[in-house]
């Protein structure tokens, strides 16, 4: 057996898990960097996934606590789609992925980790990002610290939105 040393991961492992709804609670706080909120709109916002599948994995959610897609207002749906487009542009410019997975997991059986607050996942994909590690070692390698990804994407969003 071989060891994979990743000492920076201990901070992630020891991190307290949030009780409640992050999509409701985090936007109410004024600590966007700590809470990984990248961008705020009028009806929806963008937050990084603290448990990413790949670097740059973000989520778009409405501020309002809504558990089903059909309960979203037209304003929320439109802004969420605009924010998905914004994030694709920012991630593409900064991280240069070859593709994206974009979608919403509606209900626990569909894979929703937070099933009572609708959100859309945006996961950048690179050729070879799924390799032997998850299959053989049951380990996913995230090659960039969340804080570094946050700073890079935040800069790019500000560049795009100020143009």
pLDDT digits (tens, 9 = 90+) for 4-26: 666 666 666 676 776 789 999 99
Which pTM value belongs to this model?
A: 0.82
Q: Dump pLDDT digits (tens) for 59-116.
A: 999 999 999 999 999 999 999 999 999 999 999 999 999 999 999 988 777 666 788 9
Residue 132 is predicted with a pLDDT of 45
Q: State the fold for domain 22-162.
A: HIT family, subunit A (3.30.428)
Q: pLDDT band for position 31 (50/70/90)?
A: very high
Domain boundaries, the chain: 22-162
Residue 163 is predicted with a pLDDT of 80
Residue that has been written with the tokens 């694709």 in this structure: 88
Q: HSE-up of 106 (CA within 13 Å, CB side)? A: 9
As a whole number of angstroms, the distance between CA 161 and CA 156 comes to 9
Annotated active-site positions, please? 119
Helix (H) / strand (E) containing 12: helix 9-14
Asked if 58 and 49 touch (Cβ cutoff 8 Å), the reply is yes
Cβ neighbors of 7 (< 8 A, separation 6 or more) are: none
| Stretch among 31-35, 99-103, 129-133, 151-155 having the lowest mean pLDDT | 129-133
Cβ neighbors of 120 (< 8 A, separation 6 or more) are: 59, 60, 61, 80, 84, 102, 103, 104
């Amino acid at each position: 057996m071989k060891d994979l040393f990743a000492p920076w991961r201990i901070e992630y492992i020891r991190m307290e898990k949030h009780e409640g709804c992050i999509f409701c609670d985090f936007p109410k706080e004024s600590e966007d960097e700590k809470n990984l909120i990248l961008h705020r709109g009028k009806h929806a916002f963008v937050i990084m996934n603290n448990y990413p599948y790949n670097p740059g994995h973000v989520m778009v959610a409405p501020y309002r606590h809504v558990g089903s897609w059909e309960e979203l207002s037209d304003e929320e749906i439109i802004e969420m789609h605009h924010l998905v487009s914004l994030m694709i542009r920012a991630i593409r410019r900064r991280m240069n992925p070859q593709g994206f997975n974009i979608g919403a997991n509606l209900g626990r059986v569909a894979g929703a980790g937070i099933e009572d607050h609708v959100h859309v996942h945006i996961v950048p994909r690179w050729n070879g990002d799924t390799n032997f590690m998850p299959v053989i070692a049951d380990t996913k390698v995230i090659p960039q610290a969340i804080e570094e990804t946050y700073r890079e994407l935040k800069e790019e969003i500000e560049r795009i939105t100020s143009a």
